[in-house]
Amino acid sequence: MNSNGSATARTGPILLVTNMMPPLIGGTPMVYDRLARHAAPCLHVLSAWRDPDEARPIPGWRESDSGKPYPISRIAWLRPPIAEPLRRRIGLLDLLLVDIPVMLFVFCAVALKAIRTGARTIVLGELQGLGWLGILLSLLTPWRIVIYTHGEEVVQTAYNRLARLRGPALRASDLILTVSGFTRDRMISDFGVAPERIRLVPNGVDLDRFTPGDQSPGEPFILGVGRLIERKGFDRLIEAFAAIAADFPDVRLRIAGTGAQEDSLRAIAVRLGVADRVDLLGGVSDADLLDLYRRCTFFAMPNRTLADGDTEGFGLIFLEANACGKAVVGGRAGGAVDAIIDGETGLLVDGADGSSVAQALRRLLSDDALRDRLARGGLAHARRLGWDHTAKLFLGAVGG
């Protein structure tokens, strides 16, 4: 039995309700999968087998679920779909024919699952998509309702048509979990949530997977990993690399990930004359990602907050690099300030300012002692933040 199993008697079974589970790809599905693994057998998961954004079955969901070491079940929908052909129009007909029937179905299915599992607590894993459900459950049922938040769904000014319910949902819930001090402060300031109703549960890092490897010197390169989108700051990273490239002729920049900015990032590298030293690797396998972490000189993702409020919720990727024994560079924005201890595990920079990023790259490339000290500090920090630690915080908070 998992060491956390003893918490069942104190908390009662917990039902986690979320669309965001593997085989969907992304940070939130990974977080919930790892949490469920380490909180088993306390935690039961209820998800959906249809993707509400695509209105079609999620490829491979049966195969993914069959190998899980925790109980997981699925229903057709967990929130109203937004994709055609089910969406007819934004208006009364749409509400009557799609939204209300799906909401009633979901409400009944969640209540029935909670009864069958004997759950004392229902954790809703999507503020923007399931906030309406939190309001109904809080008003009409006896269960303790907890909302789990991660970042972008809290800070973005507009998310989807259900976003207007974020504030009422947060205020109606019994407890809110969040991954960083940044998101906690934003819920207090933007939505009027009482501080005592928020618990901080930072994301964990998989210490079985992310470990230091062969430290023998190889080709020096700076590594960036993440979706190729604006808030990750890879455009500024390429600009910063171009600014210092002439002084470090043997160093390359490698960026792993896919996204809407791929073509524009290639164009930036060409325009700045460093295309032959910038490798956009696309999506990489788990094994290749680990190898990149272990072989890189250091890791950099100078994230920034966008005009619409979109920002990094936590920055688990910095802890993954730290766990592989690498110093990191991140933006002084969003939850990255919780993931990186400036001057101890890495360097925080102004991710919107290419010169600030370039200065950090130069410092780490030219000062081996500093880089090694940050790498050691990062490794020690990451080893304190494994998923066992996160699961204990989760169970302690939800158990009240």
Strand arrangement, sheet containing 221-225: 278-282, 252-256, 221-225, 298-301, 328-331, 346-349
pLDDT, tens digit, for every residue of 230-241?
Answer: 999 999 999 999
What is the number of other CB atoms lying within 10 angstroms of the CB of residue 71?
16
Q: What whole-number distance in Å separates Cα of residue 383 and Cα of residue 379?
A: 6
More confident call, 185 vs 311 = 185
What is the number of other CB atoms lying within 10 angstroms of the CB of residue 289?
21
pLDDT, tens digit, for every residue of 296-339?
Answer: 999 999 999 888 777 787 788 999 999 999 999 999 998 899 89
- How high is the pLDDT of residue 114? 97
Tokens of 273: 């004359």
Give burial (CB, 10 Å; 0-12/13-18/19+) of 60: exposed
Closest CA to 76 of 89, 88, 86, 66: 86
Task: Answer yes or no: are the C-beta atoms of 151 and 337 closer than 8 Å.
Answer: no
Task: Answer yes or no: are the C-beta atoms of 314 and 179 closer than 8 Å.
Answer: yes
Torsion angle, alpha carbons of 219, 224, 225, 226, to 10: -160
Give the distance from CA 223 to its chain's centroid.
19
- How high is the pLDDT of residue 3? 43
Query: From the DSSP assignment, how many helices (H) and strands (E) are in the chain?
Result: 17, 15
Give burial (CB, 10 Å; 0-12/13-18/19+) of 154: buried
Say whether pLDDT at 125 is over 90: yes
The SS3 assignment for 154 reads helix
Task: Answer yes or no: are the C-beta atoms of 143 and 185 closer than 8 Å.
Answer: no
Q: What whole-number distance in Å separates Cα of residue 396 and Cα of residue 398?
A: 6
At which residue do the structure tokens 């290419």 appear? Answer: 354
pLDDT, tens digit, for every residue of 258-277?
Answer: 999 999 999 999 999 999 99
The SS3 assignment for 294 reads helix
Tokens of 267: 């164009």
Please enumerate in sequence order all residues whose Cβ is within 8 A of that of 87, keeping only pairs 6 or more positions apart, or say none.
Answer: 81, 94, 98
Q: What's the sign of the alpha-carbon dihedral 146, 152, 154, 157?
A: negative
Closest CA to 43 of 24, 64, 17: 17
Average pLDDT over every residue of 113-128: 95
At which residue do the structure tokens 């599992």 appear? Answer: 117
